[in-house]
Amino acid sequence: MPAHRDRIAAALGLTLPTEAEVLARLRDVATAPNKDFVLIFTPENNPYEPLFA
């Protein structure tokens, strides 16, 4: 129901992001933690592979 969503956003004075902006933000959030640490699976002492390169 995009029309309903757009009417509500307009009524609230909100600007909705584009699909490209949403996907870029999702990628940033998903990959940012990998820059600061590496998850280790303790019993085997092997690092997890990142979901996003």
6: pLDDT strictly greater than 70: yes
Q: To 5 degrees, how large is the angle CA 18–CA 15–CA 29?
A: 55
pTM for the model: 0.51
Residue 17: pLDDT band with limits 50, 70, 90: very high
Query: Would you place residue 10 in the very low, low, confident or very high pLDDT band (cuts 50, 70, 90)?
Result: very high
Confidence tier at 51 by pLDDT (50, 70, 90): low
Rounded Cα distance between 12 and 18, Å, is 18
Question: Residue 34 burial by CB count (10 A; 0-12/13-18/19+): exposed, middle or buried?
Answer: middle
| pLDDT reported for residue 4 | 94
